[in-house]
């Protein structure tokens, strides 16, 4: 008698084992879910030192200040800046503070219907300029350091080009400046998008609609596999807590002011004006050649929202001689929340800033080490962290 | 007199008799009501002037009613009325016939599209014929049904009626666009399940069925991701997505117009009202900021 082709007995045994595992997991899961969970995000202590309309300026002060120039972080209008401080052990903000860097962070707040007429100019030459002036006055400094994230990076590039005298060092992270690429799905989809009808109808672009768009970028992973992963680990309290923190952040999506959205889609995605130094804010041309301060340009190799091609041209187009490209082997969000990349991302920024910090000695060292450089990290892609394909 | 003429004559007689009877009835009713309007007693005395007015209106209305029916009761008018009445069933028949033809057309399309369902489609092909059914339906809708919603409205409430018709029209178009999008979005799931079915069959035949069912899930999710990657990059997806968004916006606008009309009657400002206000505030704030900057620069 021939043995059966398929080991049915083994399959049945495995099924029985799995059933038992599921039963035990479900029991533990109920204990985890019914117990008090610590899912707070953005817990690093800070003060709100400036407020204008809906925007707030958060100030994070280290125990010991070791950098002479503070850093202003400008996040995107999509999702929230809490991503930089998602959980204590994976917080970019905490790493900066531990190394003595004083951090200011722009909280764009939640735009309401009355903000629908605010343009990119109002954000860049209005709110951002006021905040930069406030910090300069507070520290009695002529210049401060500026770091932009995603769309906030694009705003920072525009700001640095229009107000170069106020910025000492510029750091662009996953910052789209070249929109003429098919590498990212967003670039493909928005090409035919009629921003006018959307904005005229909605006023502001609702966060939920944008979030749905981001989920549709990878439905298999973000709508199915991610939650399968959750159910597989539902009996682990730390996993559940971190997962819920991430969920809180992902779906905390303010709307984007209508006119800003319209201009960003038309000037950037449709006409690609920024990288060509043809973009105008309230009649003032954004000439990238005016960016003469040191520039660190960090982007992610596996970023499907802002692919490397959308970021890497920037250093070639600016007027500065002290530029550096860093490509990390991770995704759009992994760059800020992956524990592996945390060992490279924040330390890289800290070292780069230290080399260009205020004192004459360090400044000279920084200039000596400067020049056009291109580097890539050797880190492997981040393991699945539940990180979504959400824009920042 | 042929049979048809006899029938027509008979119908006219019946109608004429009925008309006479109804006129008599209303005459007698008017007489009785007239009696009711006669002043009698102190209360009636007090209400005399308004009562007189009402009686006058009643008599005038009745007179017009009688006049209208006596004109209609004339044999030649009765004949044309009867002919006009024949038009209505004709119109109904035509409408039903059109709807039926459209239904048959959709059905035919479905049948012709369902033929290749059992056939395998390559992974990169998202132009499956069955997706065209939505466009066919849209064409039929636009050709056969939309015109009913575009019939011009008349009178005082014309604007409101047209808005309601536009809302119904946009809701239909958005529903079709959404269905097309959902169908297209479902295609990768359908395809990946087909592939997995074939794979499982092959595994069973080769005696290599995995002991852990999770392996099958991992294979499926990988195949599904691949199909989605292909779909989401395809021009067809972009077109269907944008079409759905455009229809959503149009539907939303049509719905908002209805809501604005409703809000117009109660003391709640609409988005349109508020937007005007917000725009003014925005411009004023901008001007104030500009002036204060100029002032600061001057004082420095």
Contacts of A83 (CB under 8 A, 6+ apart): A75, A249, A333, A336, A337, A392
How far apart CA B189 and CA B195 sit, in angstroms, is 10
Pick from A282, A319, A298, A268: which is nearest to A377 by CA? Answer: A298
Helix B75-114 / helix B3-37 crossing angle, nearest 10 deg: 110
CB of A43 closer than 8 Å to CB of A93: no
pLDDT along chain B (300 residues), means of 10: 55 60 60 47 49 61 61 62 61 70 68 49 52 82 86 90 94 94 93 91 81 87 94 92 94 94 89 94 94 89
Q: Do A217 and B252 touch (CB under 8 A)?
A: no
Same-domain check for residues B171 and B232 = yes
Asked whether residue B216 is assigned to any structural domain, the reply reads yes
Mutate to test the interface with B, among A118, A205, A220, A228 (most CBs of B within 10 A): A220
Same-domain check for residues B65 and B142 = no
A12 touching B (Cβ < 8 Å): no
A228 touching B (Cβ < 8 Å): yes
ipTM passes above 0.90: no
State residue B74's pLDDT score: 63
Q: Do B275 and A217 touch (CB under 8 A)?
A: no
Residues of A in contact with B278 (CB under 8 A): 113-114, 116-117
Q: What residues are paired with A299 via a beta bridge?
A: A327
CB interface of A with B, residues 122-141, below 8 Å = 122, 126
Residues of B in contact with A201 (CB under 8 A): 249, 252-253, 256
CB interface of A with B, residues 167-186, below 8 Å = 185
- Would you kindly state where each structural domain of chain A is located, as residue ranges? 47-376
CA angle A218/A345/A223 to nearest 5° reads 15
- The CA R_g of chain B, rounded to the nearest whole Å, is 35
Task: Return the H-helix or E-strand segment holding A58.
Answer: strand A55-60
CB of A22 closer than 8 Å to CB of A228: no
CB of B184 closer than 8 Å to CB of B131: yes
Interchain CB contacts (distance < 8 Å): A and B? 80
Residues of B in contact with A5 (CB under 8 A): 204, 206-207
Domain count, chain B: 2
Q: What residues are paired with A146 via a beta bridge?
A: A72, A170
Asked whether residue B131 is assigned to any structural domain, the reply reads yes
Asked whether residue B39 is assigned to any structural domain, the reply reads no
Asked whether residue B276 is assigned to any structural domain, the reply reads no
Q: Which residues of chain A have pLDDT under 50?
A: 360-370, 377-392
A225 touching B (Cβ < 8 Å): yes
Tokens coding B1: 């007199």
Asked whether residue B92 is assigned to any structural domain, the reply reads no
How far apart CA B194 and CA A71 sit, in angstroms, is 54
How far apart CA A323 and CA A289 sit, in angstroms, is 13
Residues of A in contact with B225 (CB under 8 A): 218, 220-221
How far apart CA A83 and CA A64 sit, in angstroms, is 24
Among the partner residues B209, B245, B282, nearest to A6 by beta-carbon distance: B209
Same-domain check for residues B230 and B135 = yes
Place of tokens 């750091």: A171
CB of B142 closer than 8 Å to CB of B177: no
CA angle A124/B249/B105 to nearest 5° reads 150
Start-to-end CA span in chain B (Å) = 109
Same-domain check for residues B72 and B110 = no
Burial class (CB in 10 A: 0-12, 13-18, 19+), A314: buried
How far apart CA A269 and CA A265 sit, in angstroms, is 5
Residues of A in contact with B204 (CB under 8 A): 5-6
CB of B163 closer than 8 Å to CB of B254: yes
Same-domain check for residues B173 and B247 = yes
Q: What residues are paired with B6 via a beta bridge?
A: none
Same-domain check for residues B155 and B251 = yes
A227 touching B (Cβ < 8 Å): no
Q: Do B278 and A116 touch (CB under 8 A)?
A: yes
How far apart CA A55 and CA A61 sit, in angstroms, is 20
CA angle A56/A59/A65 to nearest 5° reads 165
Residues of A in contact with B238 (CB under 8 A): 188-189, 191-192
Contacts of B88 (CB under 8 A, 6+ apart): none
Pick from A128, A74, A53, A77: which is nearest to A264 by CA? Answer: A77
CB interface of A with B, residues 327-346, below 8 Å = none
CB of A285 closer than 8 Å to CB of A278: yes
State residue B61's pLDDT score: 61
Same-domain check for residues B72 and B142 = no
State residue A117's pLDDT score: 97
Same-domain check for residues B68 and B161 = no
Task: Return the H-helix or E-strand segment holding A8.
Answer: helix A8-34
CATH no. of A47-376: 3.40.50.1820
State residue B65's pLDDT score: 60
A26 touching B (Cβ < 8 Å): no
CB of B232 closer than 8 Å to CB of B209: no
Same-domain check for residues B127 and B64 = no
Residues of A in contact with B224 (CB under 8 A): 220, 224
The whole domain housing B106 covers 98-268
Pick from A331, A329, A330: which is nearest to A378 by CA? Answer: A329
Asked whether residue B45 is assigned to any structural domain, the reply reads no
- Residue pLDDT, tens place only, A108-167: 999 999 999 999 999 999 999 999 999 999 999 999 999 999 999 999 999 999 999 999
Burial class (CB in 10 A: 0-12, 13-18, 19+), A110: middle
Same-domain check for residues B120 and B263 = yes
Burial class (CB in 10 A: 0-12, 13-18, 19+), A189: buried
How far apart CA A265 and CA A280 sit, in angstroms, is 14
Asked whether residue B165 is assigned to any structural domain, the reply reads yes
CA distance B66 to chain A (A): 54
Q: Do A15 and B213 touch (CB under 8 A)?
A: yes
Among the partner residues A4, A113, A198, nearest to B249 by beta-carbon distance: A198
Mutate to test the interface with B, among A18, A219, A221, A259 (most CBs of B within 10 A): A219
State residue B109's pLDDT score: 63
Pick from A219, A209, A204, A221: which is nearest to A257 by CA? Answer: A204
Is A268 annotated as catalytic? no
Q: B17-30 b/e with 16+ CB inside 10 Å = b?
A: eebeeebeebeeeb
State residue A222's pLDDT score: 92
Tokens coding A44: 């690093």
State residue B118's pLDDT score: 42
A194 touching B (Cβ < 8 Å): yes
Q: Do A185 and B233 touch (CB under 8 A)?
A: yes
Q: Do A192 and B242 touch (CB under 8 A)?
A: yes
How far apart CA A151 and CA A274 sit, in angstroms, is 12
State residue A379's pLDDT score: 38
Asked whether residue B149 is assigned to any structural domain, the reply reads yes
> Do the bridges between strand A71-74 and strand A144-149 make them parallel or antiparallel, or are there none, so unpaired?
parallel
Q: Do B289 and A201 touch (CB under 8 A)?
A: no
Which residue on chain B is closest to A6 by alpha carbon?
Answer: B207
CA distance B14 to chain A (A): 60
Q: Residue B126: how many CA atoms within 13 Å on its side-chain side?
A: 26
Tokens coding B235: 């021009």
Same-domain check for residues B105 and B240 = yes
Same-domain check for residues B66 and B146 = no
Q: Do B228 and A220 touch (CB under 8 A)?
A: yes
In residues, how long is chain A?
A: 392
Residues of A in contact with B185 (CB under 8 A): 216, 219
């Amino acid at each position: 008698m021939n043995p059966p082709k398929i080991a049915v007995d083994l399959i049945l045994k495995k099924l029985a084992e799995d059933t038992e595992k599921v039963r035990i997991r479900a029991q533990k899961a109920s204990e985890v879910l019914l117990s008090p969970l610590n899912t707070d995000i953005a817990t690093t202590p800070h003060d709100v030192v400036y407020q204008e309309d809906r925007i707030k300026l958060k100030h994070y002060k280290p125990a010991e200040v070791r950098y002479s120039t503070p850093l202003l972080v400008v996040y995107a209008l999509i999702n929230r800046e809490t991503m930089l401080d998602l959980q204590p052990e994976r917080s970019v903000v905490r790493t900066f503070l531990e190394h003595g860097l004083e951090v200011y962070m722009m909280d764009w707040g939640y735009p309401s219907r009355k903000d629908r007429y605010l343009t990119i100019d109002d954000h860049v030459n209005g709110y951002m300029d006021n905040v930069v002036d406030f910090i300069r006055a507070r520290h009695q400094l002529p210049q401060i350091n500026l770091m932009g994230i995603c769309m906030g990076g694009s705003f920072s590039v525009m700001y640095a080009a229009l107000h170069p005298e106020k910025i000492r060092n510029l750091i662009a992270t996953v910052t789209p400046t070249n929109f003429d690429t098919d590498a990212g799905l967003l670039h493909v989809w928005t090409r035919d998008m009629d921003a006018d009808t959307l904005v005229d109808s909605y006023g502001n672009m609702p966060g939920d609609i944008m979030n749905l768009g981001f989920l549709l970028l990878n439905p298999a992973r973000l709508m199915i596999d991610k939650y399968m992963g959750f159910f597989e680990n539902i009996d682990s309290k730390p996993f559940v807590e971190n997962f819920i923190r991430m969920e809180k952040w992902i779906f905390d999506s303010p709307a984007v002011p209508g006119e800003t959205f319209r201009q960003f889609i038309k000037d950037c995605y449709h006409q690609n004006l920024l990288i060509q130094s043809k973009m105008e804010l309230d009649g003032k041309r954004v000439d990238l050649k005016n960016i003469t301060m040191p520039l660190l340009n960090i982007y992610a190799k596996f970023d499907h929202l802002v692919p490397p091609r959308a970021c890497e041209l920037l250093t070639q187009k600016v007027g500065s001689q002290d530029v550096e490209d860093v490509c990390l082997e991770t995704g759009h969000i992994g760059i800020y929340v992956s524990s592996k990349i945390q060992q490279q991302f924040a330390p890289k920024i800290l070292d780069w800033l230290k080399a260009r910090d205020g004192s004459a000695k360090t400044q000279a060292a920084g200039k000596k080490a400067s020049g056009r450089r291109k580097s890539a990290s050797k880190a492997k892609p981040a393991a699945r962290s539940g990180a979504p394909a959400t824009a920042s | 007199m042929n049979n048809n003429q006899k029938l027509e004559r008979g119908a006219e007689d019946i109608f004429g008799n009925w008309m006479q009877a109804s006129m008599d009835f209303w005459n007698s009713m008017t007489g009785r009501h007239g009696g009711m309007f006669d002043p009698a007693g102190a209360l009636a005395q007090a209400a005399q002037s308004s009562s007189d007015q009402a009686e006058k209106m009643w008599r005038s209305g009745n007179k017009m009613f009688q006049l209208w029916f006596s004109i209609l009761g004339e044999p030649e008018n009765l004949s044309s009325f009867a002919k006009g009445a024949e038009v209505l069933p004709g119109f109904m028949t035509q409408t039903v016939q059109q709807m039926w033809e459209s239904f048959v057309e959709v059905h035919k399309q479905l049948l012709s599209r369902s033929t290749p369902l059992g056939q395998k489609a390559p992974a990169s092909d998202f132009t499956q014929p069955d997706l065209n059914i939505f466009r066919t339906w849209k064409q039929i809708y636009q050709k056969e049904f939309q015109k009913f919603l575009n019939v011009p409205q008349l009178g005082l409430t014309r604007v409101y009626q047209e808005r309601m018709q536009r809302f119904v029209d946009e809701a239909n178009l958005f529903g079709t666009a959404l269905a097309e999008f959902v169908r297209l979005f479902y295609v990768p799931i359908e395809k990946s399940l087909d592939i997995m079915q074939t794979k499982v069959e092959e595994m069973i035949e080769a005696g290599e069925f995995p002991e852990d069912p999770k392996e099958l899930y991992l294979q499926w999710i990988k195949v599904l991701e691949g199909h989605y990657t292909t779909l989401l990059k395809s021009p067809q997806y972009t077109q269907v997505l944008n079409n759905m968004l455009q229809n959503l916006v149009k539907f939303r606008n049509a719905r908002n117009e209805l809501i604005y009309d409703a809000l117009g009657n109660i003391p709640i400002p609409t988005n349109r009202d508020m937007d005007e206000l917000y725009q003014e505030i925005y411009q004023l704030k901008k001007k104030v900021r500009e002036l204060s900057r100029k002032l600061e620069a001057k004082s420095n």
